[in-house]
Amino acid sequence: MTSATKGEGRKIVASNRKARYDYEIVETVEAGLSLVGAEVKSLRGGKAVLEGSFGRIEGDELFLYNLHIAPYGFAHVDVPDPRRTRKLLVKRGELNRLSGKMQGKPLTLIPLELYFRHGWAKVELGLARSKKGRDRRDAIRKKDQSRELERSFKGRFKL
């Protein structure tokens, strides 16, 4: 998804739409993104891919793996690896709370959106549980039923 606005002072750079299909999102967390060099310029141009990326807590820090930020075209020095591991910035209490919730449970951190908020690069992480095939089919069935219901009521109530 390219640049779009959502809310006050929030410019969306990339969105992981497939994550909501593949995972049941238990809770969301906003984290800052530690970037180097021309990565910010590349993000402002909307050159990021969230698919396949995930977050992991290592020690007392949170990292985002496999996020692809395309190299900025006009950068001449210090071009970092597009898929390098990036540090996420969260408060200690938030990190401890996430760590406690993930302890012993089959939960993972999946990035849902990458955006700029008041000039700072942020990522919205979802604490997620994987859906089984049956759960996906149920979600599709519910979506189809609600679509059919709206379609049947569409022409009946005119004001």
Is there a domain that residue 54 lies in? Answer: yes
* Tally of structural domains, the chain: 1
Q: Is the pLDDT of residue 5 over 60?
A: no
Assess if residue 87 is contained within a domain: yes
Percent of the chain at pLDDT above 70? 92
**What pLDDT is stored for residue 149 in this prediction?**
83
Residue 116 lies in a domain: yes
List, for residues 93-114, the tens digit of each pLDDT value.
999 999 999 888 889 999 999 9
The domain that holds 28 is classified in CATH as 2.40.280.10
3-state secondary structure the chain: CCCEECCCCEEEEEECHHHHHHEEEEEEEEEEECCCCCHHHHHHCCCEECCCCEEEEECCEEEEECCEECCCCCCCCCCCCCCCCEEEECCHHHHHHHHHHHCCCCEEEEEEEEEEECCEEEEEEEEEEECCHHHHHHHHHHHHHHHHHHHHHCCCCCC
Q: Is 158 a domain residue?
A: no
* pLDDT tens per residue across span 9-60: 788 999 998 888 888 899 999 999 998 888 888 898 888 999 989 999 998 9
Q: Assign 6 a pLDDT band (cuts: 50, 70, 90).
A: low
148 falls within a domain: yes
Asked if residue 109 belongs to a domain, the reply is yes
Q: What is the reported pLDDT for 156?
A: 66
Considering the domain boundaries, does residue 120 fall inside one? yes
103 belongs to a structural domain: yes
Which structural domain range is residue 135 located in? Answer: 4-153
pTM: 0.75
